[in-house]
Amino acid sequence: MSKIAAIKPFGQSIWLDNLSRGIIASGELAKILEEDAIAGVTSNPAIFYKSISSDPLYTGDLAELKKQDLTAEQRYEALVIPDIQATCDLTRSIYDTTKGVDGYVSLEVSPTLANDAQGTIDNAKRLWAAINRPNVMIKVPATPAGVIAFEELITSGINVNVTLMFNLTHVDNILTAYIRGLEARAAAGLPVDHVHAVASVFLSRVDSLIDPQLEAIGTPEALALRGKVALSFVKVAYQQHYKPLFHGNRFAALKALGAHPQRLLWASTGTKNKAYSDVMYVEQLIGPETVNTVPDATLALFRDHGQAAATLETGAQDAVATLVAVRNLGINYNLAGEQLQQEGLKQFDEAFVKLLDLTK
């Protein structure tokens, strides 16, 4: 068995964080879906910029689109929506077999709408209709406006991948918005059993921000916390926020109607610090009712030397102690999460501008 496929029995789904026309046409995507039990695919503006700028399979279609009276964003969507549809068709059997738990493909709304709730809602609904596949997820950011949009989209029955989550406030805001959206849907007499969402919590960027602050403090206690903050954050999010909410009283009524929990998804799982294990954000966070979306480079590393084991629920008390220790050192983790979200929004926005430059 593939070392990646060996994760599945522990209740975690592995999704691929990459998409291009080339990996679809070459059969590479279909191969890893089968051999590695990959159960979904995610994309973002940076991924599509890289794909469209380097994959020759886009060249002809882009040249034809540039002859038409379209905006740069319309040309971009005309290029990528067929890719999303084709990938949804590839993963549809997974969606059907898992009864809608897996088999999703994510496409992001325009990053320029991050602070525009109604604009995000309108853009998401338009993309949902254009793709016209039950196993697509529309990505929206976990900004205050994004939270409002997310709740409305869930009420409307649209599958959503909420992105750019970096602290426990983001987690709480999004998970409770999901429940409110389902409750509104149920109150209107609408079915809730086919609505799915994930909450994408980012990892490596957290350690990249916090580690230098720990090094600046320089005490043995501070230095011992390096590389532990992101892992501790998500373990606490899972044990103390996700599980009580979705296995507790409030969700019970929705669960009786067939509703599904909003799974936490680990994102930004490629290790940036070479001093750490190159598979740490996969290997140390394997557990039930979760998703890990992994870039192909990290998948290759795990395929080579990763070890699948139930690790997410180990060291829960140590995770709490780590976050307390970080706070006691004067590092405001919640504010760090807000900073990281703003930086992530800027990165996606810059990638989107570069992407639209390609299609002008």
Token pair listed for 121: 């809602």
**Cβ atoms 172, 146 nearer than 8 A:** no
**Cβ atoms 17, 42 nearer than 8 A:** yes
CA–CA–CA angle 88, 89, 95 (5° rounding):
70
End-to-end distance of the chain based on CA atoms, in angstroms?
Answer: 46
**Cβ atoms 233, 168 nearer than 8 A:** yes
**Residue closest to 29 by CA, chosen among 87, 105, 79, 95:** 87
Residues belonging to the active site: 139
Residues belonging to the chain:
360
Element (H, E) at 88: helix 72-97
| 3-class secondary-structure state, position 193 | coil
**Cβ atoms 21, 83 nearer than 8 A:** yes
